[in-house]
Amino acid sequence: MKKDSYLSKKVQSVRPSGVRRIFDMASSVKDPINLSIGEPHFDIPTPLKKEGIKWIEAGFNKYTPSGGIPELRQKVIEHLRKKGVMCEDAIITPGVTGGLLLAFMVVLNPGDEVVIPDPYFVLYEYQIQLLGGKPVFFDTYPDFRIREEALTRAISKKTKVILINSPNNPTGTVYTKEELQIVARVAKKRNILVFSDDIYDAYVYDNEEERIYMGALYENTLTFGGFSKTWAMTGWRLGYVAGPKEVINCMVTMQQYVFSSVNSFAQKAALLAFDYDTTNIIQEYRRKRDLIYEGLKDKYVVQKPKGAYYIFPEVPGGDGDSFVEKALREKLFVIPGSVFSKRKSHIRISFAQDEETLVRGIEILRKLA
């Protein structure tokens, strides 16, 4: 007699990340040209590393308060308020991933719906499902813009949250003020909470002085940010969430039972990070954006990314999965768009790489087209 699985039905419904599947395929390729990774190609700036080391050597290695050290929570609030973001309180979390998990835990009831523009970051869907919610996607193709009619059609009586990500992973889209006003208008009409994943907020390449935050337009917004992308502190696992005090307080309580607390010395380094200027880094990434867009625009149907460090072209023939396998045979490592979307017509390319690697990748992409 076959024994039933010990695994929960929720877990059995979750498929392994498509990104990991492609990583497994690429592991057999010798010296691949890797344009897949969603991680800055530079190391943590030296002053921030030294700050972390200083606090390690000073013995700041124990548990910290569950909500994060008070001075960093206050620094987050001040940092966001300077950008016009409305927030009553903040919590320090183990990356934006941890922040999203906590936020979903404290607001979702079974059957509650979370409305998300498609394409979207892969983990949103499964975090929601694991916590008993239902992800509802609305289409933004071909130009990845939010349209009020499409958003409104996705809203129902069960909608609890609208989740947006700008600059966007995987498309590089930066939502305009008009698009964010659409979200605010729809959310306010139904008293819906908005989650705004702003982890790439420093990576805005055009008219950055006009950059508008969702949290500046709608007070019932949770703003998610962190230190992994702007300051390359990916392995230090440090993020934050800011917004209404009622929600943040409950997230602090929940963190006691889920993560206990977050990285101690990284919090001290993060205090310094807020004052570390990354203008030169962003300018370098703007040049990389221009390099890859100019290299692809005559061969692919592609939108010029306005932010983040991804470009999301449509592939010839409309089958991104097959295209990725062909690319691997040419030693080029990119991610199929089906990982991030209900469509499979595109691929995600990361330009978070050195220029030489980018040029080699562009040559192969042009050949494959």
Contact in structure between 125 and 135 (CB atoms under 8 Å): yes
Residue 3 has pLDDT above 70, yes or no: no
Task: Output the 3-class SS for 86-112.
Answer: CCCEEEEECHHHHHHHHHHHHHCCCCC
User: Residues of the chain with pLDDT > 70: what percent?
Assistant: 96
Tell me: the pLDDT tens digits for 165-206? Answer: 999 999 999 999 999 999 999 999 999 999 999 999 999 999
Name the superfamily (CATH) of residues 9-43+278-368: Aspartate Aminotransferase, domain 1 (3.90.1150.10)
**pLDDT at residue number 30:** 81
Contact in structure between 104 and 126 (CB atoms under 8 Å): no
Contact in structure between 108 and 133 (CB atoms under 8 Å): yes
Contact in structure between 145 and 116 (CB atoms under 8 Å): no
149 CB burial (10 A radius; 0-12, 13-18, 19+): exposed
Rounded to 5 degrees, φ, ψ at 175 are: -70, 140
* Fold category of 63-273 in CATH: Aspartate Aminotransferase; domain 2 (3.40.640)
Tell me: the pLDDT tens digits for 28-60? Answer: 778 889 999 889 999 999 999 999 999 999 999
Q: pLDDT band at 235, cuts 50/70/90?
A: very high
Q: pLDDT band at 18, cuts 50/70/90?
A: low
Q: pLDDT band at 2, cuts 50/70/90?
A: low
3-state secondary structure of 349: strand
Q: Which of 218, 224, 217 is nearest to 242 (CA)?
A: 224
Q: pLDDT band at 1, cuts 50/70/90?
A: very low
Tell me: the pLDDT tens digits for 113-164? Answer: 999 999 999 999 999 999 999 999 999 999 999 999 999 999 999 999 999 9
Compute and round to an integer the Cα radius of gyration of the chain.
21
Task: Kindly report, as residue ranges, where domains of CATH 3.40.640.10 are found in the chain.
Answer: 63-273
- List, in sequence order, the alpha helices (H) in 147-201: 148-154, 177-190
Rounded to 5 degrees, φ, ψ at 196 are: -120, 105
Model pTM score: 0.94
Which whole number is the average pLDDT over 209-213?
84
Tell me: the pLDDT tens digits for 332-354? Answer: 999 999 999 999 999 999 999 99
Q: Are strands 332-333 and 221-226 parallel, antiparallel or unpaired?
A: unpaired
Ranges of beta strands (E only) in 120-206 are 134-139, 159-165, 193-197
User: What does each C-alpha distance from 172 to 78, 112, 119, 175, 280 come to in angstroms?
Assistant: 27, 28, 11, 10, 19
Task: Kindly report, as residue ranges, where domains of CATH 3.90.1150.10 are found in the chain.
Answer: 9-43+278-368
**pLDDT at residue number 6:** 87
Q: Whole-angstrom Cα distance, residue 327 to residue 323?
A: 6
Residue 25 has pLDDT above 90, yes or no: no
Taking the CA atoms of residue 178, residue 179, residue 185 and residue 191 in that order, the dihedral angle to the nearest 10 degrees is: -150
The helix or strand, by DSSP H or E, that contains position 311, with its residue range, turns out to be strand 310-311
**pLDDT at residue number 207:** 82
Contact in structure between 148 and 186 (CB atoms under 8 Å): yes
Q: Which of 196, 194, 203, 165 is nearest to 352 (CA)?
A: 203
